[in-house]
Amino acid sequence: MTNQVVAAHQDAMLKRLARIEGQIRGLQAMIRRGTECEAIAQQFSASRKALDRAYQQMLVCLLEEAMLDPAQDTSETLDRVRAIFTKYT
């Protein structure tokens, strides 16, 4: 992967995580205000889904690295991704 591609992936991930951070801060504010539990649950669900999507994007990045870098052993990288997916999902 080129440095530009890596930088673009990093930038996208940081932006995604910043949005998730905002959602979490919103959750904290809702709890402090005593917002209804169902509304808080809805925000929790949205935050979890956003974090799951960020995690999936990270796995995609690992796969792209494996496929685009001819120096990497694709099967070893796929085994690594599989192990990460199995361990953390």
Give the DSSP H or E segment for 2: none
The DSSP call for residue 20 is: H
Query: Lowest-confidence range among 25-29, 44-48, 80-84?
Result: 80-84
pLDDT exceeds cutoff 90 at 1 = no
Q: Three-state SS for 43? A: helix
pLDDT digits (tens, 9 = 90+) for 48-65: 999 999 988 888 887 777
pLDDT exceeds cutoff 90 at 29 = yes
* Number of folded domains that form the chain: 1
Contact 13, 57 (CB under 8 A): yes
Task: Indicate the pTM of the whole model.
Answer: 0.74
CATH code of residue 75: 1.20.58.1000
State the alpha helices, DSSP H only, in the chain.
Answer: 3-33, 37-68, 74-88
Contact 41, 49 (CB under 8 A): no
pLDDT exceeds cutoff 80 at 44 = yes
